[in-house]
Amino acid sequence: MRWLLLFVRYAWALPASLVGIALVLMVLASGGRARVHKGVWEASGGLPGKLLANGMPFSGPVAAITFGHVVLGDCEDSLCSTRVHEREHVRQYERWGILFFPAYLIAGLIAWIRGGDAYRDNAFEVAARKAETASRSGE
């Protein structure tokens, strides 16, 4: 039964993971590295790593970003330092599937309408930071 639940989680997040896999191929083709760490593809460097480090549209530099079961980082150190935060996003993709993309945008819009920051006050980011805090405090 456990393998069935695992299959469903990966299948539900698969459309978003495919976006990430396409980006992993770009990482590898442009000199970056990739590996699987506890069921999640992690890739860093290459052209996508440079784009993250130099800033995404509408934001400054980004250490890492998640697409389903794929995490892209600007470098190996970022993959390690953001692992807890990004794994919370992996769990969010497992719950929301492809609906995560519009849900994330809507959550950012709601935060902004309420006078907050579309990124920092986004409910998905708040949950990921909460996971980081819990991990540091040993909860």
pTM: 0.92
pLDDT value of position 105 = 96
Residue with tokens 């760490």: 37
- 8 Å CB contact between 113 and 69: no
Q: What is the distance in angstroms between the CA of the first residue and the CA of the last residue of the chain?
A: 28
pLDDT value of position 45 = 94
pLDDT in tens, 41-69: 999 999 999 999 988 666 788 999 999 99
- 8 Å CB contact between 73 and 64: yes
- 8 Å CB contact between 79 and 42: yes
For the cut 70, the answer to whether the pLDDT of residue 139 exceeds it is: no
Angstrom distance (rounded) from CA 76 to CA 138: 24
Q: Which amino acid is at 54?
A: N
pLDDT value of position 57 = 66
Q: Between vectors from CA 94 to CA 135 and to CA 133, what angle results, nearest 5°?
A: 15
- 8 Å CB contact between 130 and 91: no
Burial of 17 (0-12, 13-18, 19+ CB in 10 A): buried
**Can you say whether the dihedral through the CA atoms of 28, 17, 121, 126 is positive or negative?**
negative
